[in-house]
């Protein structure tokens, strides 16, 4: 179609551009004078345009326009004949392309439109026919190039996965002794810990093909598409020989069957059934290993986790101190780090951060340094980046009144005071009354590396959460909505102490986990509660008792250290941000001024780690 349109366009354009030899243009009067003098040899008259083209005796050409409808009047024609001028009348034929172009162009446009519609329909039909094909991204043996060397820390996880790498590299070694390598391995861990990175590293170490797909890629609006894509995925893996199939977020299709309102999602369950049958349909000798990742193993169907399918679950936990340091070093490798930055101290200050959080922290520090106009990333950039990541950006536009600012200072001062004098909680790091995120002020502690928590720790945490509310009540003798976040945190801890951790003497060694949702398979005919109304009343009473006791404990401590609280509030109003060691000095000064000769043991940070800031839940004065 495009070629035909090009031919028509050339036919219309080229005749006008073609060079034509028409000779010198003269007036009709001069032409007749030359004719009377006998200088004209011959002429040609164009009947269409009345143009006269002629040749003189000296063989020069000329052209002129006739003076009548025929180009010549009868008298002028007679003059030419008397002077022996050859006269020829021509009627030139029209260009045949130009003649039919007006007819062909609409026809060609109509034909082109139908051809375009036919191709579009064929393309859509092709898409419909290929909708059951797997959407897995295939990587060759050259990709992914990620190896275990690119993953910092996690030596235990690497060692556990090395079996799969060895099997894919040297399968005969396992066959000789009769060992059977697991068909599937499930990577379990919080978001951001690097589960997907581990799967790509296994493929890179083994040097085999790698098929990556997410659980949501199997689901479509058409019935049966998920099962068809599962079949195609395993066929594609078999064609690659030795390969690794990685299914990210497998909980989206591996959720428990027969659960929820109406029996669950039938299409999702059919997809899961097909996956279960495919995993039973191949042997480990085929060289296909399935890796899957999820952060919700509790909702997976038990059939997925039985031996012969996902034989082994590998926990990818949040990194420890040494692992966090290694991760920070990896992400800081290509960045210009200042001499005052100590990544070891930064790793101590970031418990609870995942690998993705640490990568984001280093990148945010680089952005802060660029905005500051610095040539390298310094310690202050890491501190500001942590403030921004954990607490949110500073709200420069929020202006508090003098009364609100003073109330916020006493509120945060109450948290800071209790965090310092309570022996079993996390040590205080910093307190500020600068609005950040949704908070009007923040008090936060540097959490220690713990894997189990004592009853005393939780009691001190609840007491510390009550500090802001109690401080405002003691000083101003009124309450406001600023302690909403603190009360929510304290109530949640107290409820779990009673319901789950057996830390109530009246309840005893019994535990009731949180109520399961309907979609996780709870029976709709039951109330979803495993205890009687009397027990529920007892649970509520115990939760209320813990909260009341810790509020009274917070009140007693703040009354005793009233002068220290006032000094902390004044310091916050003057400096806006103070650290934990300064708070401890103010508390001791307050005891001295009030005549209390006793010395309180202060829960403060080590001097070497006092430059870092935590990533931990902080006590915040909420915005109502």
Token pair in block for residue 531: 């205890």
Between the alpha carbon of residue 389 and those of residues 432, 437, 443, 485, 623, the distances in Å are: 16, 10, 15, 19, 19
Q: Are strands 439-445 and 619-622 parallel, antiparallel or unpaired?
A: antiparallel
Token pair in block for residue 300: 């997976």
Maximum Cα interatomic distance, the chain, rounded to a whole number of Å: 148
Sequence length of the chain is 624
H-run or E-run covering 44: strand 40-46
What is residue 594's DSSP assignment? T
Alpha carbon 589 to its chain centroid, in Å, reads 50
Nearest of 548, 614, 603 to residue 424 by alpha carbon: 603
Distance CA 442, CA 426 (A): 15
End-to-end CA distance of the chain: 69
DSSP 520-571: GT--TTS-S--S-HHHHHHHHHHHHHHHHHHHHHHHHHHHHTHHHHHHHHHH
Contact 392, 618 (CB under 8 A): no
Nearest of 465, 483, 467, 493 to residue 557 by alpha carbon: 467
Instruction: Check if 412 is active-site.
Output: yes
User: Which member of 269, 412, 472, 551 is catalytic?
Assistant: 412
What is residue 394's DSSP assignment? B
Q: Are strands 439-445 and 243-248 parallel, antiparallel or unpaired?
A: unpaired
**What number of helices (H) and strands (E) belong to the chain?**
21, 15
Between the alpha carbon of residue 529 and those of residues 260, 520, 624, the distances in Å are: 17, 15, 33
Q: Residue 513: left (phi > 0), alpha (psi -120 to 50), or beta?
A: beta
Could you list the active site residues? 412
């Amino acid at each position: 179609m495009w070629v035909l349109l090009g031919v028509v366009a050339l036919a219309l354009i080229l005749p006008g551009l073609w060079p034509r030899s028409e000779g010198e243009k003269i007036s009709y009067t001069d032409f007749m004078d030359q004719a009377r003098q006998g200088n004209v040899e011959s002429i040609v008259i164009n009947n269409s345009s009345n143009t006269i083209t002629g040749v003189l005796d000296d063989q020069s050409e000329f052209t002129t326009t006739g003076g009548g409808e025929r180009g010549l009047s009868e008298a002028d024609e007679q003059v030419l004949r008397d002077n022996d001028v050859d006269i020829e009348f021509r009627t030139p034929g029209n260009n045949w392309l130009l003649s039919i172009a007006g007819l062909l162009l609409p026809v060609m446009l109509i034909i082109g439109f139908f051809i375009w519609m036919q191709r579009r329909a064929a393309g859509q039909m092709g898409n419909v026919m290929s909708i059951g094909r797997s959407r897995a991204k295939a990587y060759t043996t050259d990709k992914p190039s990620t190896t275990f060397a690119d993953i910092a820390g996690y030596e235990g996880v690497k060692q556990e996965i090395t079996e799969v790498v060895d099997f894919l590299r040297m399968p005969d070694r396992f066959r000789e002794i009769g060992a059977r390598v697991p068909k599937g391995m499930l990577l379990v861990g919080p978001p951001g810990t690097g589960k997907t990175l581990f799967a790509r590293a296994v493929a890179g170490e083994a040097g085999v093909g790698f098929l990556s797909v997410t659980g949501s890629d199997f689901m479509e609006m058409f019935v049966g598409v998920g099962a068809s894509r599962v079949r195609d995925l395993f066929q594609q893996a078999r064609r690659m020989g030795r390969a690794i199939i990685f299914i990210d977020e497998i909980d989206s299709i591996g959720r428990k069957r027969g659960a929820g309102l109406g029996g669950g999602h039938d299409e999702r369950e059919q997809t899961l059934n097909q996956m279960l049958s495919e995993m039973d349909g191949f042997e480990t000798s085929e060289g296909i290993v399935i890796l899957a990742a999820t952060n919700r193993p509790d909702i997976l169907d038990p059939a997925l986790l039985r031996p012969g399918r996902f034989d082994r679950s590998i926990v990818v936990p949040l990194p420890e101190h040494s692992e966090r340091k290694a991760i920070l070093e990896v992400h800081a490798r290509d960045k210009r780090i200042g001499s005052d930055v100590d990544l070891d101290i930064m790793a101590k200050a970031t418990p609870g951060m995942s690998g993705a959080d640490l990568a984001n922290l280093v990148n945010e520090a680089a952005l802060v340094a660029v905005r500051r106009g610095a040539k390298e990333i310094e310690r202050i950039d890491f501190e500001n980046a942590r403030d921004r990541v954990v607490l949110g950006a500073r709200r420069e536009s929020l202006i508090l009144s003098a009364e609100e600012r003073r109330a916020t200072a006493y509120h945060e001062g109450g948290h800071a005071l209790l965090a310092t004098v309570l022996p079993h909680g996390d040590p205080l790091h910093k307190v500020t009354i600068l609005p950040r995120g949704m908070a009007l002020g923040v008090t936060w502690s540097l959490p220690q590396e713990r894997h189990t928590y004592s009853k005393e720790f939780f009691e001190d945490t609840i007491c510390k959460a009550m500090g802001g509310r109690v401080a405002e009540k003691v000083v101003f003798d009124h309450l406001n909505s600023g302690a909403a976040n603190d009360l929510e945190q304290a109530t949640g801890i107290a409820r779990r102490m009673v319901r789950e951790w057996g830390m109530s003497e009246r309840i005893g060694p019994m535990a009731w986990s949180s109520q399961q949702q309907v979609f996780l398979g709870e029976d709709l005919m039951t109330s979803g509660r495993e205890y009687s109304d009397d027990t529920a009343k007892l649970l509520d009473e115990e939760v209320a008792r813990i909260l009341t006791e810790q509020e009274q404990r917070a009140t007693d401590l703040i009354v005793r250290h009233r002068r220290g609280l006032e000094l902390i509030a004044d310091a916050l109003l003057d400096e806006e941000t103070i650290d934990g060691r300064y708070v401890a000095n103010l508390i001791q000064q307050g005891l001295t001024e009030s005549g209390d000769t006793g010395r309180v043991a202060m829960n403060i940070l080590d001097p070497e780690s006092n430059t870092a800031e935590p990533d931990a839940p902080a006590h915040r004065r909420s915005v109502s």
